A and B are shown apart, each in its own frame.
Chain A
Amino acid sequence: MMKNHTWKILATCLLALSVMCSCTKNLPDDMDSLGQDVSYNVKEFTPVIGRNTFYTNILSIGQNTSQPLSFKIVNIKDADGQLVPTLFTDKFPVKVWAEMYDGTESSIAAIEGKRKTEYRPILEILEHSGNINFWGAGSSAFIRAQPDSGYTFDVELTNSGGRRYLRDFKLKPFRERPYEPSVVDPVTGLALLPYSFANYAINMVGARTRTAIGSSAIRVYFNKDEEAPKDGTKTLTISFLDSLNKPIDPNRFNDTKWDELVHGFNHRIENNKVIYDVSYPIPLTNIETPYTIVGGQYAKLDFGYRRMNDFGFIERASFGLNFAIYEEGHWEIQFRFSGETPLFN
C-alpha cells in the first residue's frame, strides 16, 4: 500500500514536469521563411520562337526568404484572358547536353553523343533556380507571336514556409527568325531586303575598278534547301557568286582555313560550293570556341586570299561574317559580290 502511494506521487510529479516541457509546442515551427523580398528583375519575356532562350539572373531573393524555393508557372492566359489549356504544358522534344561541349569534338557522332533529346514544355521554369527557359521547339503556327499581345502568367513560389504568387508576367514572343543576321522585321515578319551584309571586308579590291570593296558590297543570302534528302545528316553549304551571279571557285580564297571555318566535318567542294556536315544550331551553344566570336554568341566565318597589292607587297585580303542558324536543315550561305568581283591576283 505504501509503495503504491510512493509510485503514485512520483508519477504525479513526473506528469507535472512533463506538462511543463510541453510549453514548447507553442514555439514557432522551424519552417522556411517566405518573405516579401522575392522579385523578378524581368517580367516581360520576348523570346524569338524557334530559338532556345534561357533567362538567367532574373531573380533576386532578399534576406527574409529561405532557399531553396520551388517555382511553378501557373495561370497562363492569352491576351483575351482565356486560360491556355495545353500549349505550355505539352512537352516537345528538345536537345539538351549530357556532357560538356567545348569545340574539340571531332565528328558529328561525337557531338551528338554529348546531346540527348528530352521532352520539355516550351515555356519552362526551373524548379529551384526560378530561371525561365523558352525552348525553340515551338512554332508561330500555334504560338501567338507579336504583334499579338501574347500571354500572361503567374509564378507560384513555395517552400515549407508557405506559398506566394508573383503575378502579371508577360510572354510576348517574336515570330521565327531562323538565322542571324536577319533581315526580317521581328514584329511583322516582313523583309525589306532579301539579304544582309558581311561584317567586314579588309584589303579587298574590285577586279574592274581596283577600288576597295566594302562589307556592304558583299550581300549574304541564307537559303534553306527544303528538298534535300532527309537522310539524317545536316549540312551547311557556303558559296560565292561574283557580280554577274556566276559562281566563284572557293579555292580562290586560298588563305582560308577551311578545316576550322565552322565546327563541321567532312568538308568538300562540289560545284564550286563548300559543304560541311554539321550539327544545328550553329553555334551549338553559347560558348566560346575557335569557331565563334568572343563570348560564343555567333559563329564566325573568315575567308581570305593573298595577293600582291599595288605597291608590290603580298597582303591578305579577307572578309567575314558572324552568324547563327537556329533551325535545322540543309542551309546554304551565299555571298554575292554585288558591285564587282574581287580581284584575286
Chain B
Amino acid sequence: MKLKIVFCILVFLGLFGYPIVQGQTMLVKGTVKAGDNTPLANVTVSLESPKRDLGKTGDDGRFVVSAPTNGVLLFKLQGYGTVKQTVAAGKATYEIQMTSTFQELEETVVVGYQQRKRETLTGSVVTISGKDIQDIPAGNFVELLQGKVAGLNIQNNTGSPGMRGTMAIRGISNINVSGSGDNSFLTPTSPLFVIDGVPVDDNTGYEYGFQTAGPGISPISMIPPEDIQDITVLKDAQATALYGSRGAYGVILVTTKRGNSKVPIIQYTGQMFFNAVPSLRQTIGGKQERWMRIDQIMQYDTTFAAAIRRINDNPILADSLNPYFNNSTDWQSYFYRNTINHSHNLNVSGGDVAFNYKVNMGYFDERGIIENTGFKRYTIQSNMQYMPNDRFRLLANVNTNMAKNSLGSGNAMMQTGVGESVNTSSLFPAPSIYSGSMGALSALRVLDDNKTGNFVSQVELQYEPFPGLRATSTVNFNYSSATKDRFTPELLNGNSSEVYSYNERRNKLYNRNMLSYVKSWMDGKHTVNVYGFSEMEMSDFRSDLNRVFGTANDQFTTGISYNTRLSLGGTLNNLTNFRSIAYAGSVSYNYDSKYIVEGTYRIDGTSTTGGASPWSYNPSVGLRWNFKRESFLEDVSWLDVGFVRGTYGRNITPTGSLSDLYGWYRIDPQTYNNRPTTSLDLTNAPNIDLMPQSSTQWSGGLDLGFFDSMFYLTYETYYRQVDQILRSKAIANHNAFANVLTNETSLVNYGHEFILSYRPKIGNPDWKFTFSANGAINRDVTASLPDGVRQLLQADNSGYDLPQFYRLGRNTMTFVLYNYEGVFMSDDEVPVNPLTGLRYRAGGTLSEGRFFRAGDPKFTDMNGDYILDENDLVYVGNSQPMITGGFNTFAQYKNWSLTTQFSFTLKRDILNTALADRFRNYSDPTGANAIGNGNNPGAYVPLDAYNVWRQQGDNADYPNVSDFTRLSLYNPYRYNSTMFLEDGSYLKFNSATLSYNFDRKWSQRLGVSSARVYVTAFNIYNFNRYSGPDPELVTAVGRDASSGYPNKRSYTFGMNIQF
C-alpha cells in the first residue's frame, strides 16, 4: 500500500514537471486484463493528447494514474490491440479488456533501418523476445537461440565459456575449408549482427580465435542477455537487402532495452549456476589395462620368445610394482571439474517519451568445466533518448564492456593439450612435476590471461522539417582491444620459459545518413514510403605478438629479462584496413495493408573489391498480399490471418583482403650486401578482378492463422544462390606465383521452413498453455567450381587423410571414405585375385602383413584390383544437417510457470574420429612408440562396449584391434572409413525453467514491486544413437575431434527483483 502511495506521489511529481497542466486532473485506477481474464503487466498507459506516458500496470494488471477528465487514455502492450478509454468525470475505476493480436501484426520491427509495421513486411522476419532467453546464463547469447528460429542452424559445438559454436541462416554460405586433419575448419559464415542499428561482423573476431593469437572473444559475447529487449532474425534477401554489404549471410538485429517508465525502474537479476561435466569417454584403468596390454602381446606377437622379450623390455608392463607405473589414474578427473558460477545484472531505467534513459550494469563469471579456463564479463550499457517534440529526436548509446577469459593451453575452439592428456594410459602417475607429463601440466599450470575491451558510442539524430519528411543521421564509433598474456614456466617448456604477449586493436567508424518520406492519402488507404541513405564504414585492425623465451626465472612472467636470440616479435600479417561506402534507396507502396509492393536498390563499394569493377549493384523486390483482407474472406470466421509474400534480392559480402588484390611485399630471409631486401610474396598472385561474394535469393511465404489465432502456421520456401565465393586455386608452376584467388565458386541452398504455434483456449483463467514448433529443411548443392571443373578433391596432407570433396550437383560437405562392410570372419572369406592367386591386400609395397586375414576389416574394393588404395574411396554422407528445428512449451498455473525448449538436428553424418583415436592406441601395447616420440602411451577403450573381433568366426562390428605388429601395415582403424561414419541426428532437451512469481501484495511488504524466482536446467539430455559422448560436439565439417571442449550441463537458480 505504501508503495502505491509513493507511486502516486511520483506520478504527481512527474505531472508537475510539465509546464502545461490540463484543466482538472483526477486519479484513475483499474485493472487491465487480457481476453482470457488474466491480468496484463507492463501495459503502458499514456495520454493521447498531449502525448505523454502516465505509467505502467503492475504484475497484477493494476494501474493508478492521474489523468485529466475527458482525456483519452491509451493502453498499449506488444501483442495486443491498443485500447482507448475516455476518462469520464466521476468515474475513477476502469476495467480494461485488451485483445491479443497474437501474430503481432500491429507490432513494429526495424527492418532496413526503418521502423515498420509487421503487417507491411514482405521479407522473412522472426522476432524473439529477450525474455525468452534470459532465464539461462550464457557467455554468448547466441547459443540460447538454438531451435528457436526456423532456418537458423546453431550447433553449440564448443563448451568453451564465452565462445559460440557455428551458426548459419538457411545453410552454409561458403565451402572453403582451411586447416587439415583434425583441425579442419569451415570458413565461418555467421550472419551479420546489427546491434542497436549498427552492424557488427562476428566473423572477423572469431576467425583468428582458433588458429592464432587472440583471446577469440567476439563483440557478441560482450552483450549481457539481460539487456536484450528483442532479437530479430532477417532471413531472406528482401529483408536483408538494405544491409547490403555483409548482409549476404542473413542479419540478426539485437535491440537493447530502453527506459520507458515515468517511475524509475530498478531491476536486479541474479543467477547462481552450477556447471556439471557431461558424460565423458570411457577408459580402462590400472591393472586391467596392464593385463590387456600383456595379453595382447602374448597373443599377437610374432613368436612367444619375442612376446616375452617385448614385455620384459618395457617396464611399463613388466615393472608393475614400480610406483611410477603402478597407477590407475583417471586423467579426465584432473581436467574436468564442476563449477559454481554467478551473474548479476542491474538495470536502471526511467523516463517518458520526451526523455528516457537506461543504464545496465552486468557482471558474469563462469569458470569452465575444463580446469584453467573461464570467462568473466563486466558490462555497462547505457542509452538515452531526448525527444522534446515529434519532430526532433536524439538517441545516444554508450556501451563499455570488458571481458576476461582464460583458455588454458588451448585456443577458442580446441583444447588440444587437454585432449591429448586425457587420452593417456592410466598406468602413468597423475600430473605432477615429478611425473613429467608436461602436456597435462601445461594445461593446468600455464598462466593464460586474456582481456578484451569494447567501447561503443553512438549518436543518432532525427529531424522532421515538415510532416512526412524525416532526416536521420547516425554516427557510431566502436573500439575494441584485446590482449593475451600467457606464461609457460620453464619446467614445462624445455627449461626455457615463454612469455606470449599479444595485443590487437580494432577501430570502426560508421556513419549513416538517411532521408525518408512517408505520404498517405485517401484516409490512409494508399501509403507510399520512400527513403534513401548513404552508409560509410572505415575500420582497421592490427595485432602484435611478442614471444619471449628464457626469462631469468619463473617469477618473471613478463619480458623483463630474456634470451634475446630466441625471442620473436612483430605485427602479424592479418592487419586490415577496410573502407566501404554504399548508397541505398527503397520505395514501398501499401494499399490498405492489402497489397504491398516494395523495391530496394543498393550500390556497394568496398576497398576489398578489385579496381576492375569496384561497385556492386544489388536490387530487391518484395510483394505481399494480405488476402484475408479481401472482402470475400472477411466473413470466413475460422481464418484470422492469411497472407502470402514473395521476394527476390541480392546481397554481397566483401571477402578477401587488400593483399589479395594487390599482393604483399615481404622481407626476404636472405640479405644483399648485409642489407635486408624486400620482394613480392609469391604465394598468391595479385588479382584486381576480385569481387565480393554475392548471394541471390528467391523466397516465398504463406502465413495462416486459424480459430482466433489458436493455430498459426507459417510456411516459407527459398532458393539462395551464393556466387563469387573466394577460393584459392593452384596455377601452373611455370608462373612465378603458386596460387591465385578467384571468384569462381558457387553454391546453392534451397529449402523449406515451417513454424507452427498452438494456443489452446482454456476455460480456467488460472491455466495458460502455448506450444510452438519450427523446423527447416535445407539442402546445399555445389553449383560451380574453379576452372569449370565438375569435381575437386582438396587433399588433406595429414595423417587423417580426410580430403574435402566438391562435386557439382552434390551436397557441399561430403566425406571421402573407404566403404567398410564388416569383418573377415575367417581367412577363407578374404577374396583372392584370380589373376595372381594373391589375397586382397592393403596398398603400399607388397608385404606379408598387408594381406587381409581373419579379423581384418572388409573395405570394399571399388575398382576390383584386389588392392585397397585411394582408388577405392567412395563419396558418402553429408556433414551438414538437413533438418534442424526445435519446439517449446510454456505452461502457467497461477503464479507458477514452466518453460521447456527442445531442439533437433536430423539427417546429419558425423565421423567419430575420436573413437578411431582410441582404437588406434591399441597399436602400441608397450607404449614404446609413444614414449619414443616424447608422448605418453594412449588410454585403452574398454572393448566390452564395442563388438570387436576376437577370434576366428566372430561376426563383429569392429575389426581386430590387437594385431599390433601388423596394424601399421594394413591400418584397420583408418580415420577415413565408413566404420566411423555415424548418424549425427539428435533431439536435445535444451532447457527447462520453472519459475514462481511472488504475489505483489506479499512482495510489496518487502518494498519490492515484483519478484520472481526460478530454477533452470540447461543442456539437459541429448537423445541420439551416436556412440560418442555428444553428437553436437563436432566440428563444422562433422568430425568428432578428441580435443573438443565438452558442453556443460548447468543448473541455475535465479531471481528477478524489480524495485
Contacts and interface: CB of A to CB of B under 8 A. Distances in A.
Interface of A: 2-3, 5-6, 9-10, 13-14, 16-17, 20-21, 23-24, 27-35, 52, 54, 56, 61, 63-69, 96-101, 114, 118, 126-131, 133, 161, 284-287
Nearest to B643: A13
Most-contacted residue by chain A among B627, B717, B781, B863 (CB, 10 A): B863
Given A14-B702, A16-B700, A64-B792, A100 B837 contact: yes
A67 B863 contact: yes
A30 B876 CA distance: 13
B832 A97 contact: yes
B864 A27 contact: no
Contacts of B864: 126-129
A157 B715 CA distance: 46
A113 to B, nearest CB: 12
Interface in B858-876: 862-865, 867, 871-873, 875
Contacts of A29: 809
Contact of A67 (B636, B644, B782, B871): B871
A31 B781 CA distance: 12
A34 B808 CA distance: 12
B837 A54 contact: no
A27 B791 CA distance: 15
Closest 8 CB pairs of A and B: A33-B791, A33-B790, A96-B834, A97-B837, A30-B809, A101-B837, A129-B865, A63-B793
B791 A287 contact: no
Nearest to A97: B837
Contacts of A287: 836-838
Contacts of A23: 698, 719, 750
A33 B836 CA distance: 32
A17 B717 contact: yes
A69 B872 CA distance: 11
A219 B809 CA distance: 68
Nearest to A59: B871
Contacts of B377: none
Given A66-B791, A129-B865, A31 B627 contact: no
Nearest to A128: B863
B599 interface: no
B33 interface: no
A2 B635 contact: yes
Contact of B833 (A13, A17, A97): A97
Nearest to A101: B837
B835 A133 contact: yes
Given A97-B833, A100-B838, A126-B864, A63 B795 contact: yes
B776 interface: no
Contacts of A5: 632-633
A341 B810 CA distance: 77
Contacts of A9: 627, 630, 633, 642
B842 interface: no
A27 B698 contact: no
15 contacts: A5-B633, A9-B630, A10-B642, A20-B646, A20-B700, A20-B718, A21-B717, A21-B750, A24-B748, A24-B750, A27-B781, A28-B808, A97-B837, A114-B837, A118-B834
A289 to B, nearest CB: 11
B862 A68 contact: yes
Contact of A28 (B642, B752, B809, B865): B809
Contacts of A101: 837
A314 to B, nearest CB: 32
B808 to A, nearest CB: 4
Most-contacted residue by chain A among B644, B704, B715 (CB, 10 A): B644
Interface of A is mostly: loop
A20 B832 contact: no
Contacts of B791: 32-33, 35, 63-66
A183 to B, nearest CB: 28
Contacts of B828: 99
B807 A285 contact: no
Given A63-B793, A67-B871, A6 B836 contact: no
Contacts of B782: 28
B865 A126 contact: yes
A127 B864 CA distance: 8
Contacts of B863: 67-69, 126, 128-130
Contacts of A118: 834
A127 B781 CA distance: 30
Contact of A24 (B633, B719, B795): B719
Nearest to B807: A33
Given A24-B750, A27-B781, A67-B873, A54 B702 contact: no
A98 B832 contact: yes
Interface in B711-743: 715, 717-719
B987 interface: no
Contacts of B700: 16-17, 20
Nearest to B862: A68
Contacts of B833: 97
Nearest to B808: A28
B635 A61 contact: no
B836 A286 contact: yes
B636 A3 contact: yes
B639 interface: yes
Interface string B634-656: 01100100101010000000000
B639 A6 contact: yes
Given A6-B636, A64-B793, A129-B864, 13 more contacts: A2-B636, A6-B633, A20-B646, A20-B717, A23-B719, A24-B719, A24-B781, A67-B872, A97-B837, A127-B864, A130-B863, A285-B838, A287-B836
A30 B633 contact: no
Nearest to A66: B791
B789 interface: yes
A16 B862 contact: no
A100 B839 contact: yes
Contacts of B752: 21
Given A2-B633, A68-B863, A285 B702 contact: no
Contact of A97 (B699, B807, B810, B834): B834
Contacts of B781: 24, 27-28, 30
B702 A17 contact: yes
B753 to A, nearest CB: 12
Nearest to B864: A128
Interface in B831-889: 832-839, 862-865, 867, 871-873, 875
A54 to B, nearest CB: 5
Contacts of A114: 837
Most-contacted residue by chain A among B644, B750, B791, B795 (CB, 10 A): B791
Contacts of B699: 20
B783 interface: yes
A131 B866 CA distance: 11
A131 B867 CA distance: 12
Nearest to A61: B871
B657 to A, nearest CB: 27
Given A16-B700, A23-B698, A23-B719, A97 B789 contact: no
A28 B780 CA distance: 12
Nearest to B789: A64
A29 B790 CA distance: 10
A98 B833 CA distance: 8
Contact of A16 (B644, B838, B839): B644
A4 to B, nearest CB: 10
A27 B748 contact: yes
Nearest to B718: A20
B807 A30 contact: yes
B809 A27 contact: yes
A338 to B, nearest CB: 38
A284 B781 CA distance: 52
A67 B750 contact: no
B837 A129 contact: no
A54 B808 contact: no
A52 B807 contact: no
A177 to B, nearest CB: 21
Contacts of A35: 789-791
